[in-house]
Structure 1
Amino acid sequence: MTAPLRAREPITVPVALGDRAYDIVIGRGIAATLGQTIAKLRAGARTVIVTDENVASHHLAAAEAALKQAGVASSRIVVAPGEGSKNIPTFERVCEEIIGARIERGDLAIALGGGVIGDLAGFAASCVRRGIDFVQVPTTLLAQVDSSVGGKTGINSRHGKNLIGAFHQPVLVLADTALLDTLPPREFRAGYAEVAKYGLLGDAGFFAWLEQNWRDMFAGGPAREHAIAVCCRAKAAIVARDERETGERALLNLGHTFGHALEAGCGFSQRLLHGEAVALGMVMAFDYSARKGLCSAADAARARAHLAAVGLPTHVREVPGGVPGVDALMGLIAQDKKVKRGALTFILVRGIGQAFIESNVDPADVRAFLTDAVA
C-alpha cells in the first residue's frame, strides 16, 4: 500500500463504462467549483438540487451560490433526513417536484447529500421523463466511498432494504472531503465501515494501512483523500467489469446480508445506522467463515478489533433495544437481493482481503449461527 498523498490536489478516478463513463473527482474544497463544472459538463442545462433538511442547513446555500455564479439555473427539493425518506410517498413527491420544476431530459438533477439522498434522487432521475442525467455530490463518508459510485439507486420496501430501484449511472461524482467536517462523529464512524470493507474484501495491504492511519483520516489529514481514492478506484474497477452485479460486484456486499437484515429489523431507525449494520455484518461474516473453517479465528478477531477500535459496534448486544429474533432475521435474509431461486448467497472470506461468493448456503447453518450470535 502506497503512502498517503501529501499534496491536497484533487484526484480524478475514472469509471470506465463506455459511452456512460464518468469521473469521480475527490478533493478538499472542490464543491465551490460545482457551478463551473456543470456549466462545462452540460452548457445551458437547468438543475434541480435534491437534498435533506440537515444537509440543506450546512451546504445548500453554498451549492446554490456556486451554480448561480456560473450562470446555472437551479431549484431545490428538500426532504426529511434519514432512511425513512427512502419510501414510495417521498419518491413520488420528488418525481412530481422535478417535473414541476420543468426539468427536461437535457437538464440535470443534483443529489446533494448522503446515501439516502443519492439513492432517492438517482432513482427519481432514472424514472422522470424515462430518465434524466444526475450528478452526485456526496456529503457523507459512506456516500463518497461507496453509494455515490456505481449507479445503484432505489428505495426501501416493507420487505427489506433497496428492493425497489434501478441501475442509473451518474454523469459525475464530485466528492468534496471538506464537507465531511460537518458530519457528527457517529455518522463519520458509520461511513468508515465501508472504507474498512474494501480492505477486508480484497486488499489486505490497504487494511493494514488503515490500522496504522485511520486516526489521520478521521482528523481530516491527507490520509482522508488517499483512503477515499483507494476505495473509489477499487469500486470503479469492479463496476466497470460487472455493472449490474451478475458476478463479482456482489463482493461489495461483504457484511450486507447480515447487516441489511439487522438494519431492517431495527426499522431503518437511528438505533442502527447503515454503516453500523455493515460493521456488525462484516464481523458476523468473518465469524461465520471461521466457524465453517474457511478463515482463521485470528483474522476474524483482527477484523473485529479494528472496527471496535474506531468505535463501531461489533456485537448485536451493542444495538440499543436489541435486535429481532432469529425467525425474523431469517425472514429478512430470505429477501436479500442475492437470493437465487430461494437459495441463500453470502459473501464469505478466506482471510483478510480474501472475500468470495458462496452460493447455496445452508439455511440451517445460518440459523444455528444466528442463534448463537443473538444469544
Structure 2
Amino acid sequence: MSELQHSVRVDLAERGYDIEIGEGVLEGIVDFVQQRHAVSHVAVITDSNVDGLYADAVADRFSDADIETHVLVIDPGESSKDPEVAHDLWQTMIEEGCDRQTMVLAVGGGVVGDLAGFVAATFARGLTFFQAPTTLLAQVDSSVGGKVGVNLEGAKNMVGAFWQPAGVLIDVATLTTLPDREYRAGLAEVVKYGVIMDEPFFAYLEAQADAINGRDSAVLAEIVRRCCRLKADVVEADEREESGRRAILNYGHTFCHALEAATNYTRLLHGEGVAIGMLCASRLAERLGRIGADVTSRQHALLEKLGLPLTAPADLDPDELVRLMWRDKKVSAGKLNFILPSRLGEVELVADPPVGDVRDSLGLGG
C-alpha cells in the first residue's frame, strides 16, 4: 500500500465497516461497493455543485456495470438539511421505484452525507448506505460514525438517527476542486482532533501547515487517515453516545451551533463556526482555571495560519447566543454542558459553568 493508500476499520461487530483512503480511488467505487454488498439498484444523492464534478461519473460507472442507477440532486448548503427536502427525496425515490433492496450512495460534503444517511435510515425502514465524501470536513469527520439527520428551525441535527454506512470511500483528489473557503472550513475539524485526543498530531499540523495550505496529497492522505482512526476509536467506544465518550467530538460545537443558528445557517460554514467555537471553549476553560493561556494561544496561532476565522461576528448579541445554546442537544437535566480542554490533547465534559463566564468567552461586547 502506497503512502497515498490507507485503510481504517471501524470495528462495530455486525455494523463494522471499512474506510478506504487514497488518490484516484473513486474510479474503483463499483468494486468497493460490490465487495461489501450485493447491489442491483443505486440511488446516488448529491448536490448541484458536486453533480457535474463527480456524482454523474460515479453514476455512470454503476450504469456501465448494468446496475440500475438514479441520481437525486439537492441544492447545496445547510438549508437542504431540512425535513421538507428529506420528504421530497423520499417521494422521488418512490417514483423511481426504490425499494428495500435499493442502496443509497452519498456523493458530496457533510450536508449531503447527513441528509442522504437520514433518508437511507428512514426509507422502507432502512436501506444500505455508502459514503463517498468529497469535502475535507466530510472526509475527516461527518462521513464516519453513523450520525445522520436534519435540522429544525434554530436547532441543528435535532431530528436524526444512528445509521452506520456499509463503507466509506475517500478520494483526496476531490479536494483539488474544493473552493478555498470550504477547504479551510474542513481544517477546523482536523485541528479539533489534535486538541481533543492527540497532542502529537496537533504538533504535526503545526509543522505541516505550509504543506496543508498547499494541499499536498500525501500530507492530506495522512491527515484524513489519522482523523478517521481517531474518530473510529471514539465511535467504537461509544457508538450511540451512551457512555459520554463520544461527546468529546463536540469540542467547540455548543458555541458553533449557537453561532450558526444566530446567523440563520447562511453566514458561517460549519467548520468556520467550529474554529470560532473552539477558541470560545478554550477561553472558557481558561476562565474556569482549567488550562493556561498557552493552550488557547497555540490553537489561535494554528487556526490563524490555516486561514480560519477567529472571532464571532461583531453584530451578534451575546445574550441571544447564550439563549440559543439552551436548544442544543447537549443540554441535559436543565444544565448547559461543554467539552473543555484540560490540556492540549485531552478534554472533559464540564456541566453548568457560570453563565457569565460562558457569555464573556464569546469575546463579544454588549
Quote the offset at 1:101 in angstroms: 2.0
1:11 matched residue in structure 2: 6
Deviates more, 1:356-365 or 1:112-121: 356-365
Task: Report if the CA contact (8 A) 2:284-2:357 is conserved.
Answer: no
TM-score by length of 2: 0.96
Quote the offset at 1:12 in angstroms: 1.0
User: Structure 2 stretches of 5 or more lacking a match?
Assistant: none
Deviates more, 1:171-180 or 1:94-103: 94-103
Quote the offset at 1:207 in angstroms: 0.2
Amino acid at match of 1:274: H
Task: Report if the CA contact (8 A) 2:128-2:165 is conserved.
Answer: yes
Instruction: Map 1:1-375 to 2 at 5 A.
Output: 7-218=2-213, 219-246=215-242, 247-269=244-266, 271-316=267-312, 319=313, 322-370=314-362, 372-374=363-365
Task: Report if the CA contact (8 A) 1:142-1:194 is conserved.
Answer: yes
Distance 1:374 1:223, change over 3 A: farther
Distance 1:115 1:44, change over 3 A: closer
Quote the offset at 1:332 in angstroms: 1.1
Quote the offset at 1:193 in angstroms: 0.4
Amino acid at match of 2:333: R
- CA distance in 1 between counterparts of 2:239 and 2:306 reads 32
- CA distance in 1 between counterparts of 2:37 and 2:63 reads 15
Amino acid at match of 1:280: I
- The count of residues paired between Structure 1 and Structure 2 equals 364
- CA distance in 2 between counterparts of 1:68 and 1:221 reads 30
Quote the offset at 1:323 in angstroms: 4.5
CA offset digits 1:135-189 (Å, max 9, x no partner): 0110100000000000000111113211111111111111111011100011000
Task: Report if the CA contact (8 A) 1:262-1:323 is conserved.
Answer: no
- CA distance in 1 between counterparts of 2:241 and 2:364 reads 29
Task: Report if the CA contact (8 A) 1:344-1:362 is conserved.
Answer: no
Question: Match of 2:174, SS?
Answer: helix
Quote the offset at 1:363 in angstroms: 2.6
Task: Report if the CA contact (8 A) 2:281-2:361 is conserved.
Answer: no
Question: Match of 1:272, SS?
Answer: coil
Question: Match of 1:314, SS?
Answer: coil
Task: Report if the CA contact (8 A) 2:287-2:357 is conserved.
Answer: no
Quote the offset at 1:245 in angstroms: 1.3
CA offset digits 1:78-137 (Å, max 9, x no partner): 010000101111110011112222222222100111000001010011110011111011
Distance 1:159 1:228, change over 3 A: same
- CA distance in 1 between counterparts of 2:229 and 2:20 reads 11
- CA distance in 2 between counterparts of 1:148 and 1:261 reads 23
User: Structure 1 stretches of 5 or more lacking a match?
Assistant: none
Quote the offset at 1:220 in angstroms: 2.7
CA offset digits 1:340-368 (Å, max 9, x no partner): 12101000011211211112323343234
Task: Report if the CA contact (8 A) 1:36-1:70 is conserved.
Answer: no
CA offset digits 1:49-69 (Å, max 9, x no partner): 000000112112211122123
Distance 1:166 1:150, change over 3 A: same
Quote the offset at 1:201 in angstroms: 0.8
- CA distance in 2 between counterparts of 1:72 and 1:215 reads 43
Task: Report if the CA contact (8 A) 2:172-2:217 is conserved.
Answer: no
Amino acid at match of 2:230: A
